[in-house]
Chain A
């Protein structure tokens, strides 16, 4: 029989900030899977506690940037007695291959704290099969 528990906790990684903010609140990096198919690049990011209204996705100068805000007001009047993880905002960005994606066709879906971004490839970068004569 397979062990009942084979999933282990991944400690949250913090964003290494290039610029320091005045208030040293910690920002976390969402665990991310990225995969490519013939037509699109898909980016899947874990941001527990972030709902669709509080996720921001931008593409500018071939940089994909994602920010997620948690609703911190839910923690008001709660006194921590035992903790295993910390909470905070999420932020992460990736450099995309220049001019490879159709920025206006990027779609985003949020489910169970996981953001899935689909970036359709621009028509000219799709692999073409060259017929041999």
Chain B
């Protein structure tokens, strides 16, 4: 798809994101609604990419585990400014998080890669060879 300009492209992309808002594609194994951190999942060819926002979380405080098609993301986010400061505004939240999601596809755990940058965790989730759709030749 080609777009006239990047702002138009951004608007269309925002709408595309809205259309899949809380779709039933992903199974959230964590109890409670509004589990942190928020996750977006994309399809890229036959593979998947998960993009997770967690601004202010240090890479050292982030844990990631994969088992089969289950991914667990845990860690802590802090926002401390020392006792001497007088707060004018307090909007950022801090605390611990532990979230487990189940993907409805089989993954290849050995090829999963994770990249954390600018408060965004990007998980590349290649589908297992056995789960990749194959075109069947029709005789």
Chain A residues at the B interface, C-beta cutoff of 8 Å: 2, 4-10, 21, 23-26, 31-37, 41-42, 44, 46-51, 72, 75, 77-89, 110, 112-114
A contact residues around B17 at 8 Å (CB): 80, 83, 85-87
Chain B residues at the A interface, C-beta cutoff of 8 Å: 6-11, 13-14, 16-23, 25-26, 30, 32, 34-44, 48-49, 53-59, 74, 77, 79, 81, 84-99, 117-120
A8 to B93, CA, bound (A): 8
A37 to B87, CA, bound (A): 9
Looking at the assembled complex, report how far the CB atom of B71 sits from the nearest CB atom of chain A, in whole angstroms. Answer: 13
B contact residues around A112 at 8 Å (CB): 55-59, 118-119
Q: Which of A9, A50, A75 contacts B37 (CB 8 A)?
A: A9
Given A4-B74, A23-B8, 9 other A-B contacts at CB below 8 A?
Answer: A46-B119, A48-B120, A49-B53, A81-B26, A81-B48, A82-B40, A84-B22, A87-B40, A114-B119
A-B contact pairs, 26 of them (CB 8 A): A2-B96, A5-B36, A6-B95, A7-B97, A8-B34, A8-B36, A9-B38, A23-B8, A25-B7, A33-B81, A37-B85, A47-B119, A48-B120, A49-B120, A51-B118, A72-B9, A75-B13, A77-B44, A80-B17, A80-B42, A84-B22, A84-B38, A88-B14, A112-B119, A113-B119, A114-B119
Known contacts A4-B98, A7-B97, A72-B10; is-contact A113 B34 (Cβ 8 Å)? no
Q: Which of A23, A37, A83, A114 contacts B11 (CB 8 A)?
A: A23
Main secondary structure of the interface of A (DSSP, over half): loop
Looking at the assembled complex, report how far the CB atom of B26 sits from the nearest CB atom of chain A, in whole angstroms. Answer: 4
Q: Which of A41, A50, A87 contacts B14 (CB 8 A)?
A: A87
A41 to B88, CA, bound (A): 9
Known contacts A7-B95, A72-B10, A82-B26; is-contact A49 B119 (Cβ 8 Å)? yes
Chain B: which residue is nearest A37 at the CB level? B85
A49 to B93, CA, bound (A): 18
A-B pairs, 10 with minimum CB distance: A113-B119, A113-B55, A78-B42, A7-B95, A48-B119, A35-B85, A46-B55, A25-B11, A4-B98, A34-B88
B contact residues around A79 at 8 Å (CB): 16, 42-44
